[in-house]
Amino acid sequence: MIEVIVTARNNQAEDICSFELARADGAPLPAFTAGAHIDVHLPGGLIRQYSLCNPPWETHSYLIGVLKDPASRGGSQAMHEQIQVGQRLSISEPRNLFPLRENAQHSLLFAGGIGITPILCMAERLHQLGAEFELHYCARSADRAAFVERLQAAPFAERVQLHFDDGPAAQRLDAAALLANPDPGTHLYVCGPGGFMEHVLDTAKTQDWDDQRAHREYFTAAPVSHDNDGSFAVQINSSGQIIQVPADQSVAAALEASGIEIQLSCEQGICGTCLTRVLAGEPEHRDLFLTEAEQALNDQFTPCCSRAKSPLLVLDL
Ligand code: FES
């Protein structure tokens, strides 16, 4: 855990604020790579993940961008309403679940709304490497697009295309045209709201993009229906203990009720913090963290949200 102080707070767009964080003791922060995020521990015990969007060679501060989400479960609201310059916060060391393939021949970066944050960092890094890339940034309107001034003033500004939903038809995102050439040397990166990501990734799929070259990071999970949730059991491999998971409880909650604590963070299947190995049984994957291929192996799952198709899952705990 690192103690930081908020050294700057700026409005970047409608409902989007950036926060600059520097170490409280004045020492440099740990180095990070493009696509990395930190956990921010908020007053009241909430933990939220935010991508780092400053250039990845900076260690004097971290920059995060936070969208005030009307469907906030408390995190973005707390950031916007309670966190001012001078506030002390605890953060984790950076972790990267959305790494850049730095030796790709070409990189296609797609950002939707607040999804610009990790993508911006990737663009900085690709420019530093002298690599070929293009960045497509989509927002509902110009006033909801964050970091536009920085993008327009960047040395890679000519590689950036802005697409606004309320703008002329000619500037709207044409994913089918942009993804028409699934060249094996090109890697695709997508970050933004669920509908935007689905659109880009589905388009990539229909154009025969290899899933291994279509990299993604979700911010929030789509609402899931719990109407058909059933009960099942999990077995702790080390002790043999069997724990029932009722229909209205997550595996993580059932484990906790039996005194077995799993480290949690997003609790929505996005961050991978709770990833647990499965030794037997078939999970019902509900996360957005594992790729389809990884899910198909059925050898790990996210107990914060995923369930079971088989009556019993044996967990490597
Ligand atoms: Fe984030 Fe489970 S806590 S995936």
Judged against a pLDDT cut of 90, whether residue 53 lies above it is answered with yes
pLDDT tens-digit readout, 140-172: 999 999 999 999 999 999 999 999 999 999 999
User: Where does a domain end: 60, 91, 122?
Assistant: 91
Residues 131 and 210 in one domain: yes
Q: Measuring CA to CA, which residue among 103, 19, 14, 87 is closest to residue 53?
A: 19
Judged against a pLDDT cut of 70, whether residue 23 lies above it is answered with yes
pLDDT above 70 covers what percent of the chain? 98
pLDDT at 222: 65
Q: Give the atom of ligand 1 at the shortest distance from the alpha carbon of 264.
A: 3
In angstroms, what is the span from residue 271 Cα to ligand 1's centroid? 5
Provide DSSP, 239-273.
T--EEEE-TTS-HHHHHHHTT-----SSSSSSS-T
Residue 36's domain spans which residues? 2-91
Judged against a pLDDT cut of 80, whether residue 72 lies above it is answered with no
Q: How many domains does the chain have?
A: 3
Q: Give the atom of ligand 1 at the shortest distance from the alpha carbon of 305.
A: 2
Question: In angstroms, rounded to a whole number, what is the distance separating the alpha carbons of residues 299 and 278?
Answer: 5
Judged against a pLDDT cut of 80, whether residue 209 lies above it is answered with yes
Q: Give the atom of ligand 1 at the shortest distance from the alpha carbon of 302.
A: 2
Question: In angstroms, rounded to a whole number, what is the distance separating the alpha carbons of residues 121 and 196?
Answer: 20
In angstroms, what is the span from residue 315 Cα to ligand 1's centroid? 16
Is 268 inside a domain boundary?
yes
In angstroms, what is the span from residue 119 Cα to ligand 1's centroid? 22
Residues 203 and 113 in one domain: yes
Q: What is the mean pLDDT of residues 20-47?
A: 93
Strand, coil or helix: what is 31?
coil
Is 100 inside a domain boundary?
no
Is 174 inside a domain boundary?
yes
Q: Where in 27-68 does DSSP place strands (E)?
A: 37-41, 47-51, 62-67
Q: What is the mean pLDDT of residues 228-247?
A: 96
CATH number at residue 7: 2.40.30.10
In angstroms, what is the span from residue 7 Cα to ligand 1's centroid? 29
pLDDT at 183: 92
pLDDT at 96: 87
pLDDT at 284: 97
Tokens 């939903």, residue? 165
Q: What is the mean pLDDT of residues 38-61?
A: 91
Confidence tier at 271 by pLDDT (50, 70, 90): confident
Q: Measuring CA to CA, which residue among 100, 83, 85, 102 is closest to residue 41?
A: 83
pLDDT at 223: 67
Residues 236 and 212 in one domain: no
> What are the backbone angles phi and psi of residue 265, rounded to the nearest 5°?
-140, -75
pLDDT tens-digit readout, 87-115: 999 999 998 889 999 999 999 999 999 99
pLDDT above 90 covers what percent of the chain? 80
CATH number at residue 292: 3.10.20.30
In angstroms, what is the span from residue 262 Cα to ligand 1's centroid? 10
Q: Give residues (CB < 6 A) around ligand 1.
A: 264-267, 269-274, 287, 289, 302, 304
Q: What is the mean pLDDT of residues 240-249?
A: 96
pTM for the model:
0.82
User: Where does a domain end: 91, 115, 145?
Assistant: 91
pLDDT at 87: 95
Is 212 inside a domain boundary?
yes
Q: Give the atom of ligand 1 at the shortest distance from the alpha carbon of 274.
A: 2
pLDDT at 34: 97
